[in-house]
Amino acid sequence: MKFLDQCKIYIRSGNGGGGAVSFRREKYIEYGGPDGGDGGRGGDIWIEAVDGLNTLIDYRYQQHFKAETGIHGMGRGRHGAAGGDITLKVPVGTQVLEEDKETLIADLDTAGMIVRLCKGGNGGWGNLHFKGPVNQAPKYANPGQEGEERWLWLRLKLIADVGLVGLPNAGKSTFLAAATAAKPKIADYPFTTLTPNLGVVDLSTSERFVLADIPGLIEGASEGAGLGTRFLGHVERSAVLIHLVDATQDNVAEAWTTIRGELEAYGDDLGDKSEILALNKVDALDAETIAEKVAELEAVAGVKPRLVSGVSGQGVKDMLRAAYRQVRIRRGDEIEEIDEEEDHVPETPGGWIP
């Protein structure tokens, strides 16, 4: 399935049905009287976030959505039926923006969240509605109210707890494959990943979070170089970023500086997010070279990087647990102070009781 994370659509709610002008003409009814019914209301346009979707591809081939018009009123006091509503199903994390692509209308970040985008027009009153002691035979009725119409942008921001960032060929896809059951494309050339990939990390039966791998950034991405910063929106909601630096490249300090510069240039507080720095592909280097790379990276970043390898699995589990800790803090969970060097389970007060 093709990945599509933004699209433009046109929506229009239904017009209200017109009221009817009608009079009773029945045998043995001497004076008759008005009996025109009211028109039905027009259909609404709704948008709903649902599970099971991860792309907006459904709106690539159909961009126009028009709700039904209400049925006109009829004689014998019969009111018209309401026009049918239209509900647009989108993935969780979809934002609805005005045509200017800046004004936010709705942020559907929870499954089941539903928002009305356009209200249908009210139905017109029939002449029966206007009957009174003075005007007992009104010969007029109201037309139905016009519906609303607008152009909108839909933008998908994937719901991920942790985001992977780094230069192309930093080993992000390999790390994602090692940490989750996802099967991203892996190759030895830059920009192997062209669309974001998601994977679920299962540390235990009660420790689970979503990890997102986005296409690699290069210098000048904020100005449109490479794939630009188009996909950075998919890690805006994450609690922490895992920044992978390729240990086999010549200048690891420059690699870190490049990515940090692009994150800060993107804005939306992405540069202020918590970051776990890791030196990847350490299985391909000797101990002396690794020590030099660590010192070089620590000098510019101010923190000591973790040593990991997506191929051998070295350090992967420990870094995932550190990331999950940040996720729990973001969720507001109470975090106990546990020594990272030695994970332990607190004893049950009073001993174990069957």
CA triplet 184, 8, 91: central angle to 5 degrees?
A: 45
Same topology between domain 1-156 and domain 162-331: no
Read off the tokens for 176: 């994602």
The pLDDT value given to residue 194: 66
pLDDT digits (tens, 9 = 90+) for 186-235: 655 556 666 677 788 888 877 888 888 877 776 666 566 655 566 777 77
Extents of the domains making up the chain: 1-156, 162-331
The pLDDT value given to residue 115: 95
Which DSSP string do the residues of 169-231 spell out, in sequence order? Answer: TSSHHHHHHHHSS------SSTT---S-EEEEEESSSS-EEEEEE-PPP-TTGGGT-TTTTGG
Per CATH, domain 1-156 is 2.40.40.20: no
- Residues 102 and 266: their CA atoms lie apart, in Å, by 15
Distances (CA, A) of 254 to 55, 193, 222, 249, 250: 34, 22, 17, 10, 9
- Residues 49 and 204: their CA atoms lie apart, in Å, by 28
Among left, alpha and beta (phi > 0; psi -120 to 50; other), residue 76 is left
Strand partners, 208: 202
Per CATH, domain 162-331 is 3.90.1150.10: no
**CB count, 10 Å around CB of 80?**
25
The HSE-up count of residue 242 (CA atoms within 13 Å, CB side) is 37
- Residues 200 and 180: their CA atoms lie apart, in Å, by 6
> What tens-digit pLDDT sequence spans the chain (354 residues)?
467 888 999 999 999 999 999 998 888 877 888 999 999 999 999 999 998 887 888 898 899 999 999 999 999 889 999 999 999 999 888 999 999 988 999 999 888 999 999 999 999 999 998 988 888 889 999 999 999 999 999 988 877 788 888 888 778 888 888 888 767 666 555 566 666 777 888 888 778 888 888 777 766 665 666 555 667 777 778 888 888 888 888 888 888 888 888 888 877 677 778 888 988 888 888 888 888 888 988 888 888 888 988 888 888 888 888 888 888 887 776 555 444 444 444 444 444 454
H helix runs in the chain, sequence order? 172-179, 252-266, 287-301, 316-331
- Residues 168 and 135: their CA atoms lie apart, in Å, by 79
